[in-house]
């Protein structure tokens, strides 16, 4: 994401430079008004598209940073429980957001039950 962001920002700077060059060429009479309008319209469209993508990337980067921060907080918090001997209410409240216990099912004479645990900060951990 960071590389794409840098690429798009660089391209937008190039387009700005091209605008200036085109304006100079138009002012000197090197290109016609019609050609100037056509080229600048295409560049503006590309720049607007780049800006939309940059905004999307920034949202994604911020989301990723927030998730990474939450994981770090979780890891720091869980280290103190690495050698836990007894699971009590305080530990459960600190580590677990909620637990979903499914209904009991009998499969081949065995009772089974799905249990899903959603942890604070990191959510549900895939099996």
- pLDDT tens, residue by residue, 34-81: 999 999 999 999 999 999 999 999 999 999 998 888 888 878 877 877
| Domain count along the chain | 1
* Cα–Cα distance for residue pair 89/103, rounded to 1 Å: 24
Residues in Cβ contact with 114 at an 8 Å cutoff, skipping those fewer than 6 apart: 100, 101, 102
Contact call for residues 126 and 117 (beta carbons, < 8 A): no
Q: Which domain holds residue 79?
A: 1-86
Each residue of 16-28: pLDDT tens digit? 999 999 999 999 9
Which of the two residues, 127 and 107, has the higher pLDDT score? Answer: 107
Q: Is residue 121 part of a domain?
A: no
Q: Is residue 103 part of a domain?
A: no
Contact call for residues 86 and 44 (beta carbons, < 8 A): no
């Amino acid at each position: 994401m960071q590389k794409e962001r840098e690429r798009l920002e660089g391209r937008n700077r190039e387009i700005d430079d091209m605008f200036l060059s085109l304006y100079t060429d138009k002012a000197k009479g090197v290109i016609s008004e019609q050609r100037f309008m056509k080229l600048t319209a295409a560049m503006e469209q590309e720049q607007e598209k780049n800006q939309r993508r940059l905004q999307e990337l920034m949202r994604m980067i911020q989301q990723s940073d927030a998730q990474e921060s939450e994981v770090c907080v979780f890891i720091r918090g869980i280290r103190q429980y690495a050698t836990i001997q007894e699971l009590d209410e305080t530990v459960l409240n600190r580590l677990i957001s909620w637990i979903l216990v499914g209904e009991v099912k009998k499969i081949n004479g065995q009772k089974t039950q799905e249990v899903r645990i959603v942890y604070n900060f990191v959510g549900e951990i895939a099996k």
